[in-house]
Structure 1
Amino acid sequence: MVDWVVIAFDKTDRAPYREEHLAGIMPQVEAGKLVCGGAIYNEPKAPGEPKTVAGSHLQVVADTKEEAIEIVKGDVFAKKGVWDMDNLIIYQFGCAIRQAVNKFK
């Protein structure tokens, strides 16, 4: 198994699918396929303005790049066109250290 870092930029509003997206995360974690994930943010346009979501960072465990992409395609954000699947950034990742953070507990 290989770790893959995936950056998926948003093309559209994720809010309508957020709850379904979150519900689908834990099964991937429990299966050992998703070991890290979260939103990535744009810099605020001016001081004091809120940050906006640019997309998502995922760390996927899979044997091949194609398998990692299939895992990403299974997410509701991919299925509903939130993520720009034509422009995924995906690289093998040699994880040297991983510390547990779980905001779902």
Structure 2
Amino acid sequence: MSDAVKLHNFIVFAPDKEGVDRQPFRPEHLQRILEFHATGVLKYGGMMTTPESITSGEEKLIGSLVIIQGESLGAVRKIIEDDVYYRSGIWDPERLVILPFVLGLPWAGIHD
């Protein structure tokens, strides 16, 4: 019997509160995100923008979307709640969504 911890993928949808400025907190956020990526905890991540950002040429950031690997929903929630964007009130805790996520094509190794 293996003592290895089973890890699961979780999708995190972290919308920003209206009218917040991420810039002062970005360096600390990025440092932490890069550490999680280096250890394999953070699989994918990025910023969400408004649909108008595509045509206006000006990115208006409205939140973050990441895939994190963790033991449990609670463990992933702790990662998110310890992030400077959460602690500083950038991400809206009322609209935060963390759900288990099963990777599909092409990452699952399934080919047509």
TM-score, normalization by structure 1: 0.82
What is the match of residue 103 of structure 2?
95
Give the Å deviation of 1:40. Answer: 0.6
Deviations 1:39-81 (A, max 9, x none): 0111118x53523111000111111111111111121111111
What is the match of residue 21 of structure 1?
29
What is the match of residue 3 of structure 1?
9
Give the Å deviation of 1:15. Answer: 1.0
- Root-mean-square deviation over aligned CA pairs: 1.8
Give the Å deviation of 1:16. Answer: 0.9
* Runs of 5+ unmatched residues, structure 1: 99-105
What SS does the corresponding residue of 1:87 show, helix, strand or coil? coil
- What is the total number of aligned residue pairs between the two structures? 98
What is the match of residue 70 of structure 2?
62
Deviations 1:17-53 (A, max 9, x none): 11111111121112221111110111118x5352311
Bigger CA radius of gyration: 2
8 Å contact kept, 1:43–1:51: no
Structure 1's consecutive aligned runs of 4 or more residues displaced over 4 angstroms after TM superposition are none
Higher strand share: 1
Opposite residue 19 of structure 1, the aligned amino acid is: P
What is the match of residue 53 of structure 1?
61
